[in-house]
């Protein structure tokens, strides 16, 4: 599975790539404390049911608090045929812009 550091993710976002989408798999209360701008929120337990609505032509980067839940989500989506990476270190390591 591909892994990206928060710094690498930030660089990818700066390139305004339309084929790149970030998915935050944290719980509602965690996301309410701050999230990466324009990220899609899908709690981890909803990933299997929401996966069918995702576009397989896009690249997805999974995000959570520390990188463990997003790693599980990325592994699941990879098995479903998605181009997916995990942001290691999660929001704990994110130094980019955050919105509430």
Active site residues: 64
Cα separation, 2 vs 51, whole angstroms: 18
CA separation, residue 68 to residues 18, 88, 100 (Å): 26, 8, 22
Cα separation, 44 vs 18, whole angstroms: 23
Cα separation, 99 vs 33, whole angstroms: 9
Cross-strand pairs, 63: 24
């Amino acid at each position: 599975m591909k892994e990206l550091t928060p710094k690498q993710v930030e660089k990818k976002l700066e390139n305004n790539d339309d084929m790149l989408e970030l998915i935050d798999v944290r719980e509602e209360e965690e996301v309410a404390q701050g999230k990466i701008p324009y990220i899609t929120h899908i709690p981890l337990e909803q990933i299997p049911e929401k996966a069918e609505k995702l576009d397989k032509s896009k690249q997805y980067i999974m995000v959570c608090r520390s990188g463990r839940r997003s790693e599980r989500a990325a592994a699941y989506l990879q098995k479903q045929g998605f181009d997916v990476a995990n942001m290691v270190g999660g929001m704990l390591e994110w130094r980019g812009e955050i919105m509430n």
